[in-house]
Amino acid sequence: MEFFKPGLIVDFMRHRRIYMTVSFVLVAASIISIFVPGPNYGTDFLGGTEIQLTFEAPVESGALRQTLTDLGYAGADVVPVVERENSYIIRTGDFSAISEEQETQIRAAITDAIADVDGVDVSRIRLPTGSDKVRVQLTGGIDPSVLRTALEGIDIAVVDVAQFGNAEANTYEVRLAGVADELINGLRAAFPEAVPETRADGERWSPDRIERVGPRAGAQLRDAAIKSLLYAIAFIMVYVAFRFDLRFAPGGVIAMAHDAIITVGVFILLQKEFNLTIIAALLTIVGYSINDTIVVYDRIRENMGRYRDKSLYEVINISTSQMLSRTIVTSGTTLLSVSAFFIWGTPVIRDISFALFIGILIGTYSSIYVAAPLTEWMDRRFFSRAKAAGRKARARQRKKA
C-alpha cells in the first residue's frame, strides 16, 4: 500500500541536528528522573501487600486513607480504579502480620498443646520469614482443632488448619490472618455497609485481588528484571555487530537504548507503577525498535550498492522515503491495536498498552531521526576520512612508481 507518489524524496536528514538535540534532552531528562523523583515501584519489586477491592457502598478516598492510618497502615497507597465505581487498589509495605514476639509465642503454644497429647511429639515447627502460615510436623496424628485452640488461646487469629502432604507425614499447615485479612476486617468495622459479609446478590463478599510479595523476593525480582534488560541489549548488540558493519551497529544499539530510556522516563514522570508487566513491555519495545531499525538499515545498505555516485546523506533520504509507506502501515496498525487495549482493557492491560504505545511511537521516530543520522555521522567522521586517507596513500604510491 502506497500513501505517497512513487519517487517522492523527503529530506529527513536536513533537520537531523535539531531532532538529535531533542532526543538528547529527552534521554537526559529520563535518566535524571530515575533518581529524582525515582520510579514508582509496585509490589512486585518493593515487596508488601496489594489489595484491589470494590466497596458495596460509596467510600471517599480521604476517609479510606484516614481509616488505614488509624489501623496502623500509615503511608499506604490508595489508588482509585477509574473504570469501576467505588473500587480502589490499596498498597502497603507490610507483608506479614506476625511479629517476632508472636512467633515465639506461637512456637511455645504449639509445643505446650502437643505435650498434652499422648504419644505425639513435635518434630518441627516452621514459620517462613514474612509468611502467614505455620507448618507443624509431628510424630503422630492429631485433631487439627488442637492447633486452632492453642493459637486462639494466645489471641492469634486462625483462618484455617489443614493436613499438609501425605497423611503419614503428620504435617499440619495453619493459615493465620495475614495483612490482607486484618486490613479487610478493619475496613469492615469502619465501613460496615461498604464491606459486608455478603453481597447484595447473596454471595460472600471478597476482595477482587490480593497479591503478596516478600521484600527479599521483591529485591530479587527487581535485580532479575534489570539483568534481563541488560542481557537483551547485549545480545542484540552482538547480533547487529555481525549483521552489519561498524557504521551501522552503534546507531542501532543507541536508538534501541534511546527508546527504552525515554519510555521509562515517561512512566516515571507520570508516576505510573513499575512492575514485572512493564519490564515485559520494555523487552517488547527493545525488540520492536531494533527490528524497525534493521528494516531501514537493510534498505540503506541495498541502496548504497545501487547509488554508488551518491553520498550516504542522500542514500539515507532515498531509503527512508521509500520505506515511509511501510513504516506508516506497520506502526499505524500496531498503534491501533495497542490503543484498543488501552481504551477497553483492564488496569494491568492499560499500563502495558500505554508503555507499548509510547515505545512504538518513539521507536518509529528513532529509526529515522536517531539511528540513520548516527550512521551518517559515523561514516562521515571515521570511514570517509579513512577512505580519503587510503586514496591519498595510493596516489602517493603511484607517483613514486
Structure confidence at residue 393 (pLDDT): 57
Residue in 260, 253, 176 with CA at minimum distance from that of residue 226: 260
The whole-number pLDDT of residue 28 equals: 95
Helix (H, G, I), strand (E, B) or coil at 227: helix
Please, what are the domains in the chain?
12-41+214-400 (1.20.1640.10), 48-95+180-210 (3.30.70), 100-177 (3.30.980.10)
DSSP state string for 280-322: HHHHHHHHHHHHHHHHHHHHHHHHHHH-TTS-HHHHHHHHHHH
Q: Locate 241 and state its grid cell.
A: 555487530
3 state SS of 201 = coil
* pLDDT of res. 1: 56
Q: Is 310 exposed, middle or buried (0-12, 13-18, 19+ CB in 10 A)?
A: middle
The tens-digit pLDDT sequence of the chain (401 residues) is 556 677 788 888 888 889 999 999 999 999 999 898 888 887 777 777 888 888 988 888 888 888 988 888 877 788 888 778 888 888 887 766 567 788 888 889 889 888 888 888 888 888 766 567 888 888 888 888 888 888 888 877 777 888 887 777 888 888 877 777 788 888 988 998 888 888 877 788 888 888 777 667 677 888 888 888 888 888 887 887 777 777 788 888 888 889 999 999 999 998 888 888 888 888 888 888 888 888 888 888 889 888 888 888 899 999 988 888 888 888 888 899 999 988 887 777 888 899 999 999 998 899 889 988 888 888 887 766 555 555 555 556 666 65
| pTM of the predicted structure, to 2 decimals | 0.69
d(CA 98, CA 109): 15
